Copies of this chain bind each other. A is one copy, B any other.
Amino acid sequence: MTGARWLDDREQCAWRAYLAMNARLTARLHRRMQDDSGLSLADFEVLVCLTDQPDARVRIVELARFLQWEKSRLSHHLTRMQRRGLVDREGCPEDARGSFVVLTAAGRRAIERAAPRHVAAVRELFLDRITGEQLDTLREIAERVLPGLEVE
């Protein structure tokens, strides 16, 4: 046998459509965020994680786990964000190896300016174009698929 069974038309068509939507949607959202807030989507994700915390601080490990980024990527990225004044690092008393990332005032201003525009873009380009049932199905799909994707 030449290997696994190929995709049939229905599968192929859906899979390609999904890939295309993904690529274009991400690209558009990224460009828009960049243009009107000066942040990348990656910056934004980091800032969102920080604002999700009650005290706007997270352990770097935890952030890496949540974002599923390689730790070196995160470290480099934080260095750049720190250079731009969006976040800061602080030592961790409980574990001298560790560090916290902290949201700065400028970081908070940046995400507070960016978030509403981003939400508007997500609505305009995506949510407003599909029905509530479709949205629910999408969530169901994601919830079914996600557990199979965890790393270890």
Copies per assembly: 2
**Which stretch from A53-61, A96-104, A125-133 is at the chain B interface?**
A125-133
Whether A24 sits at the interface, judged by CB under 8 Å, is yes
Binary CB contact string for chain A from 20 to 38 against chain B (1 if under 8 A, 0 otherwise): 1111111110000000000
Chain B, Cβ-Cβ closest to A45: B19
Size of A's binding interface in residues, CB under 8 A: 52
| Majority-rule SS of A interface residues | helix
Residues of A near any B CB (own CB < 8 A): 2-7, 10-11, 13-15, 17-18, 20-28, 68, 116-117, 119-120, 122-127, 129-130, 132, 134-146, 148-150
Question: 17 A–B contact pairs at CB < 8 A?
Answer: A3-B119, A3-B120, A4-B123, A14-B135, A20-B146, A21-B142, A21-B145, A22-B22, A24-B150, A25-B145, A25-B149, A125-B149, A130-B141, A134-B137, A137-B138, A137-B141, A138-B141
